[in-house]
């Protein structure tokens, strides 16, 4: 009985080591997900700052930044996922990217402007997030303008805490009007 448990534990350790090696190649990517790059129900929040700003504890309240909320994919986009993964994969087609709704919140020294709803294009090859007139390089986390000049950098923020913060800011600005 002990020998069977030892073999089982040994196999689990080998599988875990292989999984860690596979994960490490992509884990440095911005927005890497353990559930796959194109999780239809996943959300993420990013903050992009220019080269002059630094992140600290009071960052979101007092600085200038672009806060991005990448929402879950739309119903039709999720239907397209079924097509992409279950039908087209039989033909050797490989999914290279997808689009999803995004909300942009701009802050200038802690003062928020109206939120803007747009679409984000997330791709694997190349590893980019394209939103309106800028691009985020998922490898380097560089924030790049339409002239291919680096504006700053972007990092992923904790989702639930950031959504609570957004909700507080939106309600606060509604109450002030």
The predicted structure's pLDDT at residue 97: 75
Measured on CA atoms in the order 165, 170, 175, 177, is the torsion positive or negative? Answer: positive
pLDDT digits (tens, 9 = 90+) for 86-95: 665 565 555 5
Closest CA to 63 of 19, 102, 112: 112
The predicted structure's pLDDT at residue 43: 87
Closest CA to 106 of 69, 159, 156, 158: 69
The predicted structure's pLDDT at residue 109: 84
Could you tell me the CA-to-CA distances from 74 to 48, 96, 123 in Å, in that order?
Answer: 24, 18, 17
The predicted structure's pLDDT at residue 143: 94
For the chain, give the longest Cα–Cα distance: 71
Residues of the chain below pLDDT 70: 1-40, 53-59, 77-78, 80-95, 173-177
Residues 6+ apart with CB under 8 A from 133: 145, 146
Could you tell me the CA-to-CA distances from 127 to 45, 76, 80, 170 in Å, in that order?
Answer: 17, 24, 21, 32
If 0-12 CB within 10 Å is exposed, 13-18 middle and 19+ buried, where does residue 121 land?
A: middle
Residue 65 to residue 106: CA distance in whole angstroms: 6
The predicted structure's pLDDT at residue 60: 75
pLDDT digits (tens, 9 = 90+) for 44-78: 899 999 877 666 545 677 788 999 999 987 777 66
Place of tokens 């689009």: 99
The predicted structure's pLDDT at residue 38: 58
The predicted structure's pLDDT at residue 23: 40
Place of tokens 């560089």: 142
């Amino acid at each position: 009985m002990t020998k069977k448990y030892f073999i089982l534990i040994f196999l689990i350790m080998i599988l875990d080591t292989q999984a860690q090696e596979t994960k490490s190649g992509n884990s440095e990517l911005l927005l890497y997900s353990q559930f796959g790059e194109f999780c239809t129900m996943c959300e993420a929040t990013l903050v992009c700052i220019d080269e002059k700003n630094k992140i600290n504890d009071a960052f979101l309240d007092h600085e200038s930044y672009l806060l991005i909320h990448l929402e879950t994919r739309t119903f039709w986009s999720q239907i397209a996922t079924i097509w992409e993964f279950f039908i087209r994969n039989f033909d050797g087609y490989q999914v290279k990217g997808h689009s999803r709704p995004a909300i942009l919140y701009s802050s200038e020294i802690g003062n928020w402007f109206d939120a803007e709803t747009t679409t984000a294009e997330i791709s694997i090859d190349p590893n980019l997030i394209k939103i309106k007139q800028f691009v985020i390089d998922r490898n380097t986390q560089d924030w790049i303008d339409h002239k291919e000049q680096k504006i700053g950098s972007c990092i992923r923020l904790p989702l639930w805490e950031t959504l609570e913060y957004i909700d507080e800011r939106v309600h606060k600005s509604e109450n002030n009007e």
